[in-house]
Structure formats: structure tokens, C-alpha cells
């Protein structure tokens, strides 16, 4: 099957300038995604970026940068789905390339592994599924949260008191951003990467780190350095 990996990596980042090229343990953040994708069952990898430095580094790693992304798709408000559609349209129009499966890998997930990618592909192919998502069970539940309004905190839910024990929360899962795996036909039919039948690939907390801030980068670095040794004690 034609399995396309798309890594969306724009240059602008307010929290950490040039975040995707910042090094963790001597390796640029985006390279962790390259390494995982290369070891996986993905057989075509592209990066969509607006940044010439990211493009140059990507090509030095033998990864395709078929175009520089338009400015309108490189703003803070640009939707990831529009970026993915633009990439697919380009590949179809200029390379006559039609993938069977599309795997979206955010470069801000350095703890994602090639095994996780392969599992997401296997899960997609295992049944009547339109999409698979890497998700993690939510730790801080919104039912016990507060809204800050008019200088005071107000419960998000009026019945919040009944959620004073963790066991009473309904199970909720959030997409980690590490892996979105979908059929090309799902995108064409539903104009979405999801479709109606989404299967979860539940990941451990240590594999769910998404780097948005300097603290996230610190946590990722410490996890890469120490987690395997530390976890053996339990």
C-alpha cells in the first residue's frame, strides 16, 4: 500500500522561536519524527513548511520538501486539515501520487516511536475504521474545573461537587498530536481526517508529551534521559 507520512512544520512559534530546529540531547526536535517515520511502514515522507531553514535541514536528512507552504497556511490561525489538503492536492497535481493511507506526524512529539506508528496503521486496517488517533486518558478532568469570570472562580459545572472523587469521572481521552492515521478515501468522502468511526490508540503518558513551551522541552529531555532507568524501580 502507498502509505504517506506528512510532517507539518512551520517556522513561526511564539513560545519557542525556531522550535522545530531546537536541539534536545544534541538532535533537532524535528529529527525525532524523521527517525521514527523512517523506521516505520511509511513508504513516502514529506515535510510541509514555510521555513527555508527547516527545508534545508529536512533535505539534508533525505526527506522530501516538495514545496514551500503558502503564507496563508503558515499563520497561527491556519488549520492543520487545510495544510494536509494542500499537501495532498500538490502531490496529486504535480506527482500523480495518490496515497492509500495518510499518517500525520506533528514534529512536537519526540517520544513517539516507529512501533506506535506501525500500530496505528495496523489498527486502521484491522476493521471498519475511518481513522485512528493516538490518545491519552485525561488526567485533570474538566468536570472539576473552574471558569475565571469577573475576578472570581465559578464552577464549570453546577453539579461539580459530585465529582470530588476521581473514580466518579467519566472516561475522557484527548488526542496527543503524535499520530493521526487515516485513509485517503476518508479525507475525500468526509472532507475531514476523522470520519465517523475513529479508533483510539491509547498511549502512555511518557509517550504523549507535546512540546509547546520551554517547560515541555525540559520534560521531554528529562524523559528521554531518565525514564527507562527510573521506571525499572516500579
Calculate mean pLDDT across residues 221-233. 89
Number of domains in the chain: 1
pLDDT, one tens digit per residue, over 188-213 is 999 999 999 999 999 988 889 999 99
Q: Given this model, what pLDDT does residue 14 score?
A: 73
Q: pLDDT-based confidence at 163, cuts 50/70/90?
A: low
pLDDT, one tens digit per residue, over 48-100 is 999 999 999 999 999 999 999 999 999 888 999 999 999 999 999 999 999 99
Long-range contacts of 81-89 (CB under 8 A, 24+ apart): 81/192, 81/193, 83/8, 83/48, 84/6, 84/8, 84/187, 84/193, 85/187, 86/48, 87/6, 87/46, 87/48, 88/184, 88/187
pTM for the whole thing?
Answer: 0.91
Q: Residue 184 sits in which domain range?
A: 3-136+173-231
38 falls within a domain: yes
Provide the CATH number for the domain around residue 29: 3.90.550.10
Q: Which percentage of the chain shows pLDDT scores above 70?
A: 97
Q: Given this model, what pLDDT does residue 106 score?
A: 96
Amino acid at each position: 500500500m502507498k502509505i504517506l507520512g506528512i510532517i507539518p512544520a512551520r517556522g513561526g512559534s511564539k513560545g519557542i522561536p525556531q522550535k522545530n530546529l531546537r536541539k534536545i540531547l544534541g538532535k533537532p526536535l524535528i529529527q525525532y519524527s524523521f527517525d521514527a517515520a523512517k523506521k516505520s511502514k511509511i513508504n513516502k515522507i514529506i515535510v510541509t513548511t514555510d521555513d527555508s531553514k527547516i527545508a534545508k535541514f529536512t533535505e539534508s536528512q533525505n526527506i522530501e520538501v516538495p514545496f514551500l507552504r503558502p503564507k496563508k497556511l503558515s499563520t497561527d490561525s491556519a488549520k492543520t486539515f487545510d495544510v494536509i489538503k494542500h499537501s495532498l492536492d500538490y502531490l496529486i497535481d504535480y506527482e500523480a501520487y495518490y496515497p492509500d493511507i495518510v499518517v500525520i506526524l506533528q514534529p512536537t512529539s519526540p517520544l513517539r516511536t516507529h512501533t506506535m506508528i506501525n500500530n496505528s496503521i495496523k489498527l486502521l486496517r484491522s476493521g471498519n475504521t475511518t481513522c485512528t488517533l493516538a490518545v491519552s486518558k485525561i488526567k485533570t478532568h474538566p468536570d472539576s474545573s473552574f471558569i475565571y469570570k469577573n475576578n472570581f472562580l465559578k464552577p464549570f459545572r453546577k453539579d461539580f461537587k459530585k465529582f470530588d472523587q476521581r473514580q466518579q469521572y467519566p472516561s475522557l481521552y484527548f488526542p496527543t498530536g503524535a499520530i493521526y492515521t487515516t485513509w485517503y478515501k476518508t479525507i475525500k468522502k468526509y472532507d475531514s481526517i476523522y470520519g465517523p468511526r475513529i479508533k483510539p490508540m491509547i498511549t502512555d503518558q511518557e509517550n504523549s508529551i507535546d512540546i509547546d513551551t520551554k517547560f515541555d522541552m525540559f520534560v521531554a529531555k528529562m524523559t528521554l534521559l531518565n525514564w527507562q532507568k527510573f521506571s525499572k524501580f516500579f
